[in-house]
Amino acid sequence: MPTIGWFEILIVIAIAIIVLGPKDFPIMLKKVGSWVGTAKKYVNNLQNEVSNISLEEDKIEKKEEKKDDS
């Protein structure tokens, strides 16, 4: 899988500044940062929900094992 290095990032930033212009570039950075933050929150919430489901299943299995041992 190809990796993205600093040089490639620099090229993308330079092209974005040329296309958007120096006035609109900071505004676009804010929007992209907001989108990335929202995506991170969504992924974090999703991971927490999966973790909680896993913990609940473990608790249920332990209760079933205790009933079987009795």
**pLDDT of the residue at 70:** 59
What pLDDT is stored for residue 1 in this prediction?
62
Task: Count structural domains, the chain.
Answer: 1
Specify if 49 maps to a domain: yes
Classify residue 50: in a domain, yes or no: yes
Question: 23: part of which helix (H) or strand (E)?
Answer: none
- Residue 26 class from Cβ within 10 Å (0-12 exposed, 13-18 middle, 19+ buried)? exposed
For residue 1, being part of any structural domain is answered with no
Beta carbons of 25 and 16 less than 8 angstroms apart:
yes
Residue 25 located in a structural domain: yes
| Domain extent for 23 | 6-69
Tell whether 11 is covered by a domain. yes
Does a structural domain hold residue 15? yes
Q: Is 28 exposed, middle or buried (0-12, 13-18, 19+ CB in 10 A)?
A: middle
Count H helices and E strands in the chain, helices first.
2, 0
In tens, the pLDDT along 20-63 reads 998 999 999 999 999 999 999 999 999 999 888 887 887 777 77
C-alpha angle 14-18-20 in degrees, rounded to nearest 5: 110
pLDDT at residue 66 is higher than 90: no
